[in-house]
């Protein structure tokens, strides 16, 4: 069998060195070898409130983006199956060539209607929605003013723009104001935030941010990947929750959370959408979303709009888990919505707490650097509308005990 190991250049620097010597990759390999990996844990079933994992055990799942519980809903599954049978497994081309189906157009129209915008543009992922928008916005003399804690895809998308990227301190409006005051008065500006910050559940203070955008005459982009289906009376996100949705210039979403699918979308004006369709690499040069995933998202969106009680139940569950955690001694980071972050601190504490939760039947997300600052690790919990009160209260006790045990070595965990 031929050796497929990368060929190491002789006599010159190896350009693959950043890949081969990545310290985080080495750490992850160590964790895997020690059977202590907290990442890429395989499941054996749909992401339900109680999920079966590849080891055969069922656990309360507090680590999925299936916020409305629709990923296993029979209506969504059937819609995906029907599209699969009609259209096949792949669109087999980009949207500008042969990849557009009636389903793509229906979903775009209904997303635009849901957000009250003139248009929506589907992309193959939430990451690509941000890239499609920001990479085609701004000229070389313009600026993107990006909150320091936005999703990594927004940082990458802003870097792909021709504009200058200016970061400001997370949720610090004094820092943003200083950036805006220093902006060339002739330059265009785009403020970029997450509606809900994905690792902590914090909300952007959008009611005050829109006032600054009006004052300095700049545009506003809000990523609502973790707000869609979660916040606001209609599940439109943090901008709706804070009453400023009609003052946002573009909203991006991921379809992989509340809409139980995969893909992304940009909701904005028709002219801006046309610009994306004409020049954004993720739209022009990427294969279109497969029809089954489009059908799943379309059906999930229709359920969201027809059953607002799911949003209400999800909001109830989020507040219940926050309260239960605080009462158990594991007060989370202040926030709203489905993402709840319990501080753990050092990486070894985060990993130990995650493993204790996992062994005790609760699945969480262990979040450490670089997703959060060094020494600011968290157990990231996410609730679903379909969790029961009892499941959440019991999970809160497990999480709180696991964090205490990991921090202080208190041997109070019940054997698995």
Q: Report the 10 Å Cβ neighbour count for 93.
A: 12
Sole residue written with tokens 């750490």: 27
Q: Which stretch of DSSP H or E encloses residue 83?
A: helix 74-87
Distance from first CA to last CA of the chain, Å, rounded? 44
* Distance from the Cα of residue 41 to its chain's centroid: 18
Counting residues of the chain whose pLDDT is more than 70, the rounded percentage is 93
Name the band, by pLDDT with cuts 50, 70 and 90, for residue 6. low
Distances (CA, A) of 214 to 138, 158, 219, 220, 316: 18, 21, 8, 10, 34
Distances (CA, A) of 233 to 237, 240, 243: 9, 8, 10
Provide the CATH topology of domain 37-66+309-408.
Answer: 3.90.1150
Rounded mean pLDDT of 78-95? Answer: 96
pLDDT of residue 19: 82
Mean pLDDT (the chain, rounded): 92
pTM higher than 0.95, yes or no?
Answer: no
| pLDDT tens-place string over residues 234-288 | 999 999 999 999 999 999 999 999 999 999 999 999 999 999 999 999 999 999 9
Q: Tell me the longest C-alpha to C-alpha distance in the chain.
A: 66
Three-class SS of 232-278: CCCCCCHHHHCCCHHHCCEEEEECCCCCCCCCEEEEECHHHHHHHHH
- Given a cut of 60, is residue 2 above it in pLDDT? no
- Return the higher-pLDDT residue of 265 and 14: 265
pLDDT of residue 1: 43
| pLDDT tens-place string over residues 285-317 | 999 999 999 999 999 999 999 999 999 999 999
For residue 287, what is the DSSP state? B
| pLDDT tens-place string over residues 338-390 | 999 999 999 889 999 999 999 999 999 998 887 788 888 999 999 999 999 99
Q: Where are the domains of the chain?
A: 37-66+309-408, 74-306
CB 364 within 8 A of CB 379: yes
Q: Report the 10 Å Cβ neighbour count for 163.
A: 23
Q: Rounded CA gap, 100 and 102, in Å?
A: 7
Provide the CATH topology of domain 74-306.
Answer: 3.40.640
Domain 37-66+309-408 matches domain 74-306 at the CATH topology level: no
């Amino acid at each position: 069998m031929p050796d497929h190991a990368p060929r190491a250049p002789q006599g010159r620097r190896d350009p693959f060195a950043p890949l081969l010597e990545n310290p985080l990759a080495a750490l992850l390999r160590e964790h895997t070898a020690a059977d202590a990996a907290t990442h890429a844990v395989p499941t054996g079933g749909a992401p339900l409130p109680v999920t079966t994992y590849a080891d055969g055990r069922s656990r309360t799942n507090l680590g999925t983006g299936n916020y409305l519980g629709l990923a296993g809903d029979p209506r969504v599954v059937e819609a995906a199956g029907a599209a699969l049978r009609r259209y096949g497994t792949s669109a087999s081309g980009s949207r500008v060539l042969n990849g557009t189906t009636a389903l793509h157009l229906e979903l775009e129209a209904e997303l635009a209607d849901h957000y009250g915008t003139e248009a929506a543009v589907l992309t193959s992922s939430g990451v690509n929605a941000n890239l499609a928008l920001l990479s085609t916005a701004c000229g070389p003399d313009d600026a993107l003013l990006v909150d320091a804690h936005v999703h990594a895809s927004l940082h990458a998308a802003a870097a792909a723009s021709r504009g200058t990227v200016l970061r400001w301190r997370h949720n610090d409006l004094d820092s943003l104001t200083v950036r805006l005051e220093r902006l060339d008065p002739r330059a265009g500006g785009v403020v970029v935030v997450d509606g809900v910050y994905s690792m902590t559940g914090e909300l952007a203070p959008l009611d005050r941010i829109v006032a600054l955008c009006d004052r300095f005459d700049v545009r506003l982009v809000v990523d609502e990947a973790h707000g869609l289906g979660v916040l606001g009376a209609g599940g439109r996100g943090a901008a709706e929750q804070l009453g400023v949705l009609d003052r946002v210039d573009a909203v991006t979403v991921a379809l992989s959370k509340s809409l139980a699918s995969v893909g992304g979308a940009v909701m904005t004006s028709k002219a801006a959408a046309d610009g994306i369709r004409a020049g954004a690499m993720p739209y022009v040069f990427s294969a279109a979303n497969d029809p089954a995933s489009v059908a799943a998202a379309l059906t999930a969106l229709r359920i969201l709009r027809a059953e607002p009680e799911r949003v209400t139940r999800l909001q109830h569950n989020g507040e219940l888990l926050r309260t239960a955690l605080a009462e158990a001694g594991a007060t989370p980071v202040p926030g709203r919505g489905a993402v709840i972050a319990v501080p753990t601190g050092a990486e070894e504490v985060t990993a130990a707490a995650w493993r204790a939760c996992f062994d005790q039947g609760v699945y969480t997300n262990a979040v450490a650097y670089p997703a959060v600052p060094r020494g600011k690790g968290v157990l990231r919990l996410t609730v679903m509308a379909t969790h029961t009160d009892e499941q959440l209260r019991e999970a809160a006790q497990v999480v709180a005990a696991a964090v205490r045990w990991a921090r202080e070595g208190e041997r109070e965990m019940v054997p698995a």
